[in-house]
């Protein structure tokens, strides 16, 4: 039970005993330290240290003090707090990291290479985000699996729209709810089955995804990019338009 929660907490570098006790409280409810020792593999000599650690994390609620009875704080509140702390660290790290990046004379977005590759799903998404951050005119997202879209991507897309730049999205009807949400931004959004993944930036750069495990290739060649755009426009014209409420022809 709660393996996904345990995996997330492990990724957040929680100690094993903290994870075990918190997950047990989430699953089974309020307990005394003695009950927790019985329900978990935490030694009796460590249980109070673990409870203090969870209290510092804001992950524990004390129901009674004498005798001590503890319960888990709501998981959404706990994980949101953890993510907020990580975002603050990320923002602080980005200040110096971005300054160093921008000092380079050959950034990825501005180099003279006609093509380059990126590896893995994370590498592809990271490259796409970098390209979207630097668009001057338009972005086209053609992808039958948009599970990768997160808060940062919605923020990037909103900023592109605010800057009155063109955004088109073509994806599978499996993601109709997400697409309806995106269409509420005033974006041209459509659905179509069996599409090839491509991301087109300013109609001059194409990022393609292929293979399993996936790899990506960024291409600037004008004739190649034009062909990809022509293929996309053909598919987009034949696709179903998405509105904020429903799919319509």
Q: Per residue in 186-225, pLDDT tens?
A: 889 999 988 889 999 999 999 999 888 888 999 988 899 9
Same domain for 132 and 241? yes
Specify the 3-state DSSP secondary structure of 72: strand
Residue 230, in any domain of the structure: yes
CATH code of the domain containing 171: 3.30.870.10
Span 10-36, average pLDDT: 94
Residue 238, in any domain of the structure: yes
Same domain for 241 and 127? yes
Same domain for 41 and 137? no
What pLDDT sits at residue 169? 95
Q: Which domain holds residue 32?
A: 3-76
Residue 107 has pLDDT above 90, yes or no: no
- Element of type H or E holding 131: helix 120-133
What pLDDT sits at residue 105? 45
Angle at which helices 47-56 and 16-28 cross, to 10°: 80
Q: Provide the Cα torsion 151, 153, 158, 161; round to 10°.
A: -170
What pLDDT sits at residue 111? 55
The token pair at 232 is 């996309």
Using a pLDDT cut of 90, give the percent of the chain over it: 55
Tens of pLDDT, residue by residue over 130-176, are: 889 888 999 999 999 998 998 889 989 999 999 999 999 999 999 98
What pLDDT sits at residue 130? 87
Question: pLDDT band at 102, cuts 50/70/90?
Answer: low
As a whole number of angstroms, the longest Cα–Cα distance in the chain is 76
The token pair at 76 is 């959404």
Quote the number of domains for the chain. 2
What pLDDT sits at residue 17? 96
Question: pLDDT band at 247, cuts 50/70/90?
Answer: very low
Same domain for 21 and 124? no
What pLDDT sits at residue 95? 79
The phi, psi pair for 5, rounded to 5°, reads -60, -45
CATH code of the domain containing 52: 1.10.10.10
Q: CA 19, 24, 26, 27 torsion: positive or negative?
A: positive
Question: pLDDT band at 38, cuts 50/70/90?
Answer: very high
Residue 37 has pLDDT above 70, yes or no: yes
Its pTM stands at 0.62
Residue 47, in any domain of the structure: yes
Question: pLDDT band at 248, cuts 50/70/90?
Answer: very low
């Amino acid at each position: 039970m709660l393996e996904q929660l345990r995996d997330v907490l492990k990724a957040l570098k929680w100690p094993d005993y903290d994870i075990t006790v918190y997950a047990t409280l989430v699953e089974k409810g309020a307990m005394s330290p003695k009950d927790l020792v019985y329900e978990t593999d935490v030694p009796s000599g460590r249980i109070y240290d673990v409870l203090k650690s969870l209290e510092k994390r804001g992950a524990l609620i004390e129901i009674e003090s004498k005798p001590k009875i503890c319960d888990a704080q709501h998981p959404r509140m706990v994980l949101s707090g953890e993510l907020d702390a990580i975002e603050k660290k990320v923002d602080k790290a980005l200040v110096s990291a971005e300054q160093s990046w921008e000092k380079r004379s050959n950034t990825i977005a501005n180099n003279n290479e006609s093509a380059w590759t990126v590896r893995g799903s994370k590498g592809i998404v990271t490259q796409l985000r970098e390209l979207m951050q630097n668009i001057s005119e338009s972005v086209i997202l053609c992808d039958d699996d948009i599970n990768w879209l997160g808060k940062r991507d919605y923020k990037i897309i909103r900023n592109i729209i605010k800057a009155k730049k063109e955004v088109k999205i073509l994806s599978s009807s499996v993601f109709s709810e997400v697409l309806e949400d995106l269409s509420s931004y005033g974006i041209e959004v459509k659905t179509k089955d069996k599409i090839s993944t491509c991301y087109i930036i300013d109609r001059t750069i194409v990022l393609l995804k292929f293979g399993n495990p996936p790899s990506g290739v960024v291409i600037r060649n004008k004739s190649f990019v034009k062909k990809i755009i022509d293929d996309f426009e053909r598919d987009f014209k034949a696709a179903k338009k998405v509105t904020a409420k429903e799919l319509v022809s």
